[in-house]
Structure 1
Amino acid sequence: MFIPFQDQLYETVFIERVNRFILSCKLSSNGEVITVHLPDPGRLKELLVKGNIVYVSYHEVPHRKTKWTAQLVKKRDADRLVSLRSTLPNGLIEEALKQKKLPEFEPYSFVQREFTYGGSRWDFLLENNKAPYLLEVKSVTMEKDGKGYFPDAPTKRGTKHVKHLTKITREGIYKTGILFVCQRSDIDEVRVADWIDLQFAEALGQARETGVDVYARSCYISLEGITLNQPVPVQLT
């Protein structure tokens, strides 16, 4: 499953992170320093290092503070690209679900994206003739020694969602699942970063024990687009 990027990408050199959502970068073409919107609010400490290459897109949108958006980053000592768009996996997974490209969910049919149930909004609603299915997608960008870790910053919202999925699973009306999508190709296993957010780690462990499905997939990122790769295991202990 391949999703092409729609926007032209421009190469820049990362200078600094001004705040949670703003970067300062230098265009490689002419040396101009530009202000760039960062869609991923995570810490990204091992990626946003001075001198790393950041690929950005340009958007002429009225009233927007910056016309540039960070899309991809590449370490100076590696050829691999990593996506900086935390919402990118949702579009990829939507197409994969519609085209039945995910064996994990083969028994289910895609119904809709952003489905509200129980006071929370879930990424996807699936269904078959037995029970509807709520699926939540999480983006993984942090990597250490070939292992992907989530989250890379404390996530009260993520913990709340996982606990809510556990409650829904116990009710027995909906089946539920969490799919970690690794926005890079050098991850062979996903783990929970319990030293960053112990509450999320405990909630996810309880969720799987209760019956919430926990899956993960790797991706390949190029300057042309994103490709969904093979499943990878999720280790919670």
Structure 2
Amino acid sequence: MKIDKNIFKAEFVRRPNRFQAYVKIDGEEQMVHVPNTGRCKEILLPGCTILLREENNPTRKTKYDLIAGYKGEKLINIDSQVPNKVVEEALRENRIESLSMYTNIQREKFFGNSRFDFKLTDDNGHEYYLEVKGVTLENEGITKFPDAPTERGKKHLLELIEAKKKGHGAGVLFLIQIENVKKFMPNEETDKEFSEALRLAHSNGVDIYAYDCELGEDFIKLKESVPIEL
């Protein structure tokens, strides 16, 4: 996925709330929008280099979105709108082999009381519900989700179990918005209930996928499958 808007480097200063941050652009402090409600504490450190996407919308309060940060040499994309776009691109290009038989791809469809990111259908009408979760938390190549408690995430997993029980395909794909990682794990320390629900989903036949990304300052795409440790 190519980012078709202007990208600028800046220096991170502080993040007073989930949606706003202050950065320095050419020495001048400005407020920007943060398109991620997660904590990102290990990425957004005072003085670190971050990437801004220019959003020339006259109705906005801020001119830029903070979309990525450098953690040392490692670039991490934190834009929560990116994972679904990257996964949709990969699905349409048949780069997720175990899902390549599904030819009809629909976004944001309901099953039960949950709206899932994708409803996939094959030529025989068999349905598959896929939820996508973006992963930004990394330590020495080990990645985890979530980085903040998520009741909604747990609810999605339980609904995927119900979809599976009713004869549909069901899966959750963790898109790691980082390159060259070692493995993926649920974040037991941050959200024990989500972690338990993920293991329960796996034991009930829900597919668990984890993929990392190839990314640069102006692009990001699904790369390869990553080992999962539940």
Question: Structure 1-normalised TM-score?
Answer: 0.93
How far, CA to CA, are the matches of 1:107 and 1:60 in structure 2? 40
Whether the 8 Å contact between 1:97 and 1:110 is mirrored in structure 2 is no
Structure 1 residue 131 displacement after superposition: 2.1
Deviations 1:182-227 (A, max 9, x none): 0001322110001100000010100000000001101022012012
Contact 2:129 2:163 in 1 (8 A): no
The offset of 1:171, in angstroms, is 2.0
Deviations, residues 38-91 of structure 1 (Å, cap 9, x unaligned): 00111111101011111112223233221211011112xx22211120120111
Q: Aligned equivalents of 2:180 and 2:54: distance in 1?
A: 28
Q: Match for residue 15 of structure 1?
A: 13
Partner of 2:156: 161
1:126 aligns with 2:111: no
| Secondary structure at 2:159 match in 1 | helix
Residue of structure 2 in register with 1:72 after alignment:
68
Matches within 5 A, 1:1-237: 3-27=1-25, 30-75=26-71, 78-128=72-122, 129=124, 131-172=126-167, 174-236=168-230
Is the Cα contact below 8 Å between 1:218 and 1:232 reproduced in 2?
yes
Q: Please give the alpha-carbon distance, in whole angstroms, between the structure 1 residues aligned to 2:21 and 2:180.
A: 25
Task: Please list every run of at least 4 consecutive aligned residues from structure 1 whose deviation after the TM superposition is greater than 4 angstroms.
Answer: none
Q: Contact conserved, 1:98 with 1:110, CA < 8 A, in 2?
A: no
Secondary structure in 1 matching 2:58: coil
For residue 194 of structure 2, give the secondary structure of its aligned residue in structure 1: helix
Q: CA deviation at 1:107?
A: 2.2
8 A Cα contact 2:77 2:136, kept in partner: yes
Structure 2 Cα separation of the partners of residues 227 and 80 of structure 1: 16
Which deviates more, 192-201 or 90-99?
A: 90-99
Instruction: Identify the range of structure 1 (150-159 vs 81-90) with the bigger mean alpha-carbon deviation.
Output: 81-90
- CA drift of 1:130 comes to 6.3
CA distance in 1 between counterparts of 2:63 and 2:192 reads 37
Residues in 2 aligned to 1:55 and 1:212: alpha-carbon distance in whole angstroms: 36
Name the SS of the counterpart of 1:11 in structure 2: strand
Aligned residues: 229
**Deviation string for 1:116-140 (max 9, x for gaps)?**
2223211111122262100001101
Give % identity: 37
Task: Verify the 8 A CA contact 1:80 1:221 in the aligned structure 2.
Answer: no
Q: 2:12 touches 2:22 (CA, 8 Å); kept in 1?
A: yes
Q: Which runs of 5+ in 1 are unaligned?
A: none
SS at match of 2:27: coil
CA RMSD of aligned residues (A): 1.2
Q: Could you list the runs of 5+ residues in structure 2 that have no partner in the other structure?
A: none
What is the TM-score of this pair, normalised by structure 2? 0.96
